[in-house]
Structure 1
Amino acid sequence: MALAKDIETLKDIQCEEGKCVLSVYLNTDRANQNQQKGEWKIRLKNGLKRLEEYLVAAGNEEELKSYKKLRKKVEKEVKGNQSKLLKSVVIFASDDQDLWSVHYLQLPVETSFHWESRPILDQLEKLQKSFPKSAIIMPNLDEVKILDIDLGEIKDTRTYFFDPETEDWRFKDGIASSDRMASSANHVDDYQQRFDENRNRFYKKIAMNIEGMKKEKKWESVYIIGEPEAAQSLESQLNVDVSLTIKKNLKNSDSSKVLAHVFE
């Protein structure tokens, strides 16, 4: 579930008695000078240990038993998914409420650990205001990839390709650009020349789709990342404000690298 939707669900969670919800905010940003050697591992261990010591001192055996189970689950999740770590990981967990919510974010958080009667959402709500819903548009000749972003997470990815037969854009159905062009390899040069000559006209059509999606998905920011000619051409056809244009081909880059270029 996308984090923005998750927040609304989390607001309704409340323990019937005592405390039963573990909230974890862990900064894992390697760009931070204090994180160069994986210091987050120590902070994770110490933060969870302190909560357990608090529960031991409080003498509530039921809560302690529940917490220990969740602590092991959290440690296994984070340590087992180190390749997914971006700038932070946020976890909400509760046995009593059948809750397990994990999000790896491209946005930094302040490391903190909470054992309360409800999820602690203050940092997420602050991020929600600072980083509203947005889109990253990635044009690459006859393909345009659209990333739907919320709170630094990719909610959805859509790719459109240009159909030379109809001179229109179609939602990608698994046929790669190279496969489409390979079937008529003798015409590749002619096709590319024709596309280059009509680039603005062709991009104007996909721009209309993007404008409609902006209204439908309520994007507050739009970013463009692509090779210089493609990025500049698409931006010129869009009738929306573009927050940032990055003239660089990241078509084959990991999503984390794409997000980093926007949110650094």
Structure 2
Amino acid sequence: MDLKPLLNKLEHYRSEKPNKVFTMYLNTDPADPDQQGGKWRLQLKNGLNNFESYLQEDGDSDEKRNYWAVKEKVENFMNENEMNLKKSVIIFATGDDDVWFADILQMPVKTAFFWEEEPVLDQLKEMQETFPKTGIILTQKDQIKYIDADLGTVNETNVYELDLDTEDWRLHQGTHKADSNLGSGGGKTSKKDEFYERFEANRYRWYKSIAPKLDKAAKNHGWERIYLVGESDEVNDLESHMNKTIEDKINKNLLDHEETKVLEEVL
């Protein structure tokens, strides 16, 4: 999720009674001790009911109708996504559908509800500053994978594999893992040794050829931070050929790990 368009819209959004804006930051993190037993359900119920009680006393029937429309959409979203929750949910909504944004995030928030003339963006802005658009590039000899992420959520994953016959890097979109150049069968050990020798002899040149593709991916995805992950010699060679600034290098072999686990390890 790219926060910039959302923030640009919400920062300039203003409304007047009876058309107010609902803002919700809901902590649904099952690992949080304060969320044991799905405590978020009670917090959601109380948060929604508190506004309804206030509006009943206020007596503005148009505002009540707008709020009830928002409440129904929020409850439907939570019911439909209850089994898919991660650490948090954020929602911005108006009764006339002029604003509707709801997303499940891997980042923690502090539970809060608002019904005001404008959206409350403090936590959203803090998330953007803490977890901006990020690219994580993982190396493992003849395979290089990049993960496009922000707010601790994986947006896209792509894998490049080096074809040793043509010495070209081939792109496999998605989480597909290409066949190994090491092959299989009776000659596997000697072939592996042969591959390692050839790779070490040509690594610098081969990584030089992939670096422009990674720079282009960084530009296209708008990465504000880039992390290189892999063996020291490999990430150092890759960094030396890339034009983009590298935020940090992590000397671990994580290419085969599940993407969300990589994010947790790196970020």
Normalising by structure 1, we get a TM-score of 0.80
User: CA deviation digits over 1:93-152, x for unaligned, max 9?
Assistant: 223243321222222111111112222212111222233322112334433221222333
Indicate which of 223, 230, 247 corresponds to 2:252: 247
Pick closer, same or farther for the CA change 1:100–1:251 going to 2, 3 Å.
farther
The aligned counterpart of 2:40 is 40
- Give ranges in structure 2 of 5+ residues lacking alignment: none
The aligned counterpart of 2:265 is 261
d(CA) in 2 for partners of 1:94, 1:246? 47
Percent identity (aligned): 35
Q: CA deviation at 1:235?
A: 4.0
Q: Residue 138 of structure 1 contacts residue 225 of structure 1 at CA under 8 Å; is this kept in 2?
A: yes
Q: Residue 21 of structure 1 contacts residue 115 of structure 1 at CA under 8 Å; is this kept in 2?
A: yes
Q: How does 1:100-249 map to 2 (within 5 A)?
A: 100-172=100-172, 176-178=177-179, 190=191, 193-194=194-195, 197-199=198-200, 200-201=203-204, 202-215=206-219, 217-225=221-229, 229=231, 233-239=234-240, 240-245=245-250, 247-249=252-254
**What is the SS of the residue equivalent to 1:128?**
helix
Q: Give the residue type in structure 2 aligned to 1:219.
A: W
Q: Residue 92 of structure 1 contacts residue 102 of structure 1 at CA under 8 Å; is this kept in 2?
A: yes
d(CA) in 1 for partners of 2:83, 2:196? 39
Pick closer, same or farther for the CA change 1:259–1:76 going to 2, 3 Å.
farther
**What is the SS of the residue equivalent to 1:81?**
helix
Q: How does 1:4-43 map to 2 (within 5 A)?
A: 4-15=4-15, 17-43=17-43
Q: CA deviation at 1:165?
A: 2.8
Count matched residues: 257
d(CA) in 1 for partners of 2:83, 2:193? 38
Q: Residue 204 of structure 1 contacts residue 234 of structure 1 at CA under 8 Å; is this kept in 2?
A: no
Structure number, greater radius of gyration = 2
User: CA deviation digits over 1:210-247, x for unaligned, max 9?
Assistant: 23444554433222445xx4x65134421343425162
Pick closer, same or farther for the CA change 1:54–1:125 going to 2, 3 Å.
same
**What is the SS of the residue equivalent to 1:198?**
helix
Q: Residue 158 of structure 2 contacts residue 173 of structure 2 at CA under 8 Å; is this kept in 1?
A: no
Normalising by structure 2, we get a TM-score of 0.80
